[in-house]
Amino acid sequence: MAINAEQIKELREKCGAGVMECRNALVDANGNVEKAQEILREKGLVKAAKKAERETVQGIVESYIHTQGRIGALVELNCETDFVARTDA
């Protein structure tokens, strides 16, 4: 089945995946957008499972106390590398 640009555009708007990922999912799903979306979701879960094994040993701890001292927050942000932890942006 031929996959057209409108189908790819529709799938990208629904799931935010790349053009080639959407195209390949549509080919696997024989042009069915809903089935292609499910295929992309399954692939995303596989990618997420691979990344879940990574250790986050670097990070930063920041605190904030409101001017009157009644509200405060303490945030711990973990990441994989010290380069990310030291980024100010």
**Pairwise pLDDT comparison (60 vs 88), residue with the higher score:** 60
Over the stretch 30-55, which tens digit does the pLDDT of each residue have?
999 999 999 998 888 677 777 778 88
pLDDT at 89 over 70: no
User: HSE-up of 64 (CA within 13 Å, CB side)?
Assistant: 5
Q: Model pTM greater than 0.75?
A: no
Alpha carbon 22 to chain centroid, angstroms: 15
Residue 47: predicted pLDDT: 74
- For strands 72-79 and 58-65, give the pairing: antiparallel
- Residue-range domain boundaries for the chain: 5-52, 55-89
Q: In 10 A of CB 8, how many CB atoms?
A: 20
Average pLDDT, the chain: 88
Asked if CATH classification 1.10.8.10 holds for the domain at 5-52, the reply, yes or no, is: yes
Q: Which amino acid is at 20?
A: M
